[in-house]
Amino acid sequence: MTIQKNISLKEFNTFHVEASAKYFCEINDINELESVITDSRFRNEQKLILGGGSNLLFTKDFNGIVIKNNIGGIELLSEDEESVIIKVGAGNNWDEFVEYTVSSGFNGLENLSLIPGTVGASPIQNIGAYGVEVKDVIKSVNGFSLDNYEMRTFSNSECKFGYRDSIFKNELRNKFIVTSVVFNLSENRKVKSNYEAIKNYFSEKNITEITPSEIRKAVIEIRKSKLPDPREIGNAGSFFKNPIISEENFEKIKSDYPDLNGYKVDDNSVKISAGWLIEKCGLKGRRIKDVGIYDKQALVIVNYGNASGMEIKNLAEEIRDIVLDKFNISLRFEVNIL
C-alpha cells in the first residue's frame, strides 16, 4: 500500500471535475484499511472513503486522506430452497455483481442493474430503481468503526434504511467504513415487473415469460435510453431525490397538471417525480457553458467538458430555487457535495 500526496481526483469521480487530495491511497483488504486508519500520521486528518465516485461532487480540493476502497471477493455463505446468502466485498463493481447474481440464477437484484458505483456504497445510499430498493435484500453490513477501530456488523434493521437513506448517512456519517455486505437472495423469488417503464417495455416487445435475465436486459435498455454514460459525459445519475408530498398537495398540483403521476407511500403521502417538476419549469436541456441539464432526463446534471464542481453546484441550487418558487416543493440533493 502506497500513500501518495497531492493526487488529482478527476479520474476517481464520475462528474470528472478537477480536485486534488492532500493524501491518497488504495486499500485491498481489511488489514491495509486498519493500517492506514490507525497510522499516527493520519489520525487527525479528514478521511474520505471512495468507491466508484458516482455519487460525489467535489467543489474544492480535499484537505485530508482519500482512501479508495478496493476490497473484493464474493463468498457464498449458504444456499437452500428458501434463500441464497452471499457476502460481497465493498470494492466490487455493483453492476458486475448484479450480472453475477443473475447469471448464477439468484433473484433479487436484477431491477438494480447498471447502477454505477460499488457494492459498499449500496447500503449507504439504499440505492433503488424500478420498484426495488437494496434494503429489500440486504441481510447485514460489515465494516470498520472509526470511533474504536473495531469491526462491527449491522443487521438490516440496525441500518435504519429509508428512502435513499441509512444510518451510514446520518449517525455514522464519517464514522464507519463498509468492508462487505451480506445479501439474502433467492433462486425462486418472484420477479418485480410491475413498474410502469418495465411493464411498457415487455408490452411493446410482446414478452410474456418474464425472468430475472429479461428484467436485467429491460432495465439496462431503459437506463441507456434515458441516462448518459458517465464515461462519455460527466454525471452522477439522479442529482435530486424524488420528493414525498402530502396527498392534499398532490391533488392540488394534479388539478393544474393532470399529467402528474404519483406513488402512494402511505395513507397521507405521495412520491412524485423530481424530473417531472424540473421539466415543468422548462429547464430540461438547459446549458450554461459546460454544465447543463440532460436533454433526455431532467434529473441528471451533466458536465459537458470542463465544468467546475462549483458551477455544477450552482446550477443544482438554481434548479432547486426555481422548483421551490413554482411548486413550493423543496428538492433535496441525492449527490454528496464536498
Give the active site residues.
164, 238, 334
DSSP string, 154-208: EETGGG--BTTB-GGGTTTTTTEEEEEEEEEEBSSPPP---SHHHHHHHHHTT--
Helix 212-226 × helix 196-204 angle, to 10°: 100
Question: Are the C-beta atoms of residues 113 and 130 closer than 8 Å to each other?
Answer: no
Query: Strand 20-27 and strand 62-69: pairing?
Result: parallel
Query: Strand 46-50 and strand 56-57: pairing?
Result: unpaired
Among residues 178, 137, 139, 176, the alpha carbon closest in space to that of 158 is found at 139
Question: Are the C-beta atoms of residues 91 and 51 closer than 8 Å to each other?
Answer: yes
Question: Are the C-beta atoms of residues 107 and 191 closer than 8 Å to each other?
Answer: yes
What sign results for the dihedral spanned by CA atoms 103, 104, 110, 116?
negative
Question: Are the C-beta atoms of residues 99 and 215 closer than 8 Å to each other?
Answer: no
Question: Are the C-beta atoms of residues 52 and 42 closer than 8 Å to each other?
Answer: no
What's the rounded Cα separation, in Å, for the pair 293 and 285? 5
Among residues 1, 25, 16, 103, the alpha carbon closest in space to that of 53 is found at 16
**112-132 burial by CB neighbour count: b if 16+ within 10 A, else e?**
bbbbbbbbbbbbbbbbbbbeb
Question: Are the C-beta atoms of residues 60 and 48 closer than 8 Å to each other?
Answer: no
- State the DSSP code for 58: -
Question: Are the C-beta atoms of residues 24 and 45 closer than 8 Å to each other?
Answer: no
